[in-house]
């Protein structure tokens, strides 16, 4: 394989089930939701009857857990061990790396910090926690694009400068729009199945080791 020009890349990571080994929000809903209404919202979102903003707002507002118990839970969430290796690899080559996520700042930053990762450029939703009450907000939604909670495509198009190749690494439905305007897509799960079904170019992965091995081959 021909070596690529490392300075051309900018890398975008999804968070849940890409950097983490589970979907954190879904797991929290299973553990801490006061009822099963979140499941109905999830089905409506999957059927595209509602957007991810409406879905997540209703779901997160149903969570009932205080900070102490939440912090204890966040300390148990594991990340893919190759994420830190990729950060070191890209960092040594001055390749910018960003996280774009439908998760929320308190949970996402808490997980990163507990795994010794700080100072990353992150674009995600916001949440205020008062007692056991969660109040979500969505500073990066884009009504012109759709009803996404966090418009990942907007971040990608804004951050990719002329001559850059956007690399997207993700797994889910919320990654589709950004992936379709990327130059190189690493896909697992739902995203992999969709790209395969639609005949779109991608690199199928099972985890971040596959991403690491790919870039080690072309940039070593």
Using the predicted structure, report yes or no on whether residue 1 has a pLDDT greater than 60: no
d(CA 45, CA 39): 10
Report the 10 Å Cβ neighbour count for 188. 24
The structure tokens listed for 197 are: 């079904």
* Model confidence band, residue 220 (pLDDT cutoffs 50, 70, 90): confident
d(CA 60, CA 217): 41
Q: What is the mean pLDDT of the chain?
A: 93
* Model confidence band, residue 34 (pLDDT cutoffs 50, 70, 90): confident
Q: What is the pTM of this model?
A: 0.93
The structure tokens listed for 5 are: 């020009």
pLDDT tens digits, 46-94? 888 988 899 999 999 999 999 999 999 999 999 999 999 999 999 999 9
Give Cα 63 to chain centroid, integer Å. 20
CA distance to 20, 98, 147, 182, per residue, from 208 (Å): 10, 15, 29, 18
pLDDT tens digits, 168-217? 999 999 999 999 999 999 999 999 999 999 999 999 999 999 999 999 99
Task: Kindly list the structural domains of the chain, giving each domain's residue range(s) and its CATH number in brackets, ordered by start.
Answer: 6-219 (3.40.50.1000)
d(CA 1, CA 106): 41
| Beta bridge mates, 127 | 136
Using the predicted structure, report yes or no on whether residue 41 has a pLDDT greater than 90: yes
Nearest Cα to Cα of residue 104 among 72, 137, 152, 82: 137
């Amino acid at each position: 394989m021909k070596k690529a020009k490392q300075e051309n890349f900018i890398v975008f990571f999804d968070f849940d089930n890409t950097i983490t080994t589970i979907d954190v929000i879904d797991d929290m809903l299973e553990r801490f939701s006061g009822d099963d209404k979140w499941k109905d919202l999830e089905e409506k979102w999957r059927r595209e009857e509602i957007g991810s903003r409406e879905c997540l707002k209703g779901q997160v507002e149903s969570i009932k857990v205080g900070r102490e118990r939440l912090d204890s839970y966040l300390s148990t969430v594991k990340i893919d061990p190759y994420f830190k290796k990729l950060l070191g690899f890209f960092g040594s080559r001055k390749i910018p790396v960003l996280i774009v996520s439908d998760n929320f700042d308190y949970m996402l930053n808490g997980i990163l910090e507990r795994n010794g990762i700080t100072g990353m450029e992150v674009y995600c939703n916001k949440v205020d926690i008062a007692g056991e009450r969660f109040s979500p907000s969505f500073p990066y939604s884009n009504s012109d694009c759709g009803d996404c909670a966090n418009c990942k495509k907007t971040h990608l198009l804004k951050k990719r400068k002329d001559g850059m190749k956007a690399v997207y690494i993700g797994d889910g439905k919320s990654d589709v729009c950004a992936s379709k305007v990327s130059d190189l897509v690493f896909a697992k799960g739902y995203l992999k199945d969709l790209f395969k079904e639609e005949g779109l170019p991608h690199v199928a992965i099972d985890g971040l080791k596959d991403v690491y091995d790919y870039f080690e081959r072309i940039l070593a």
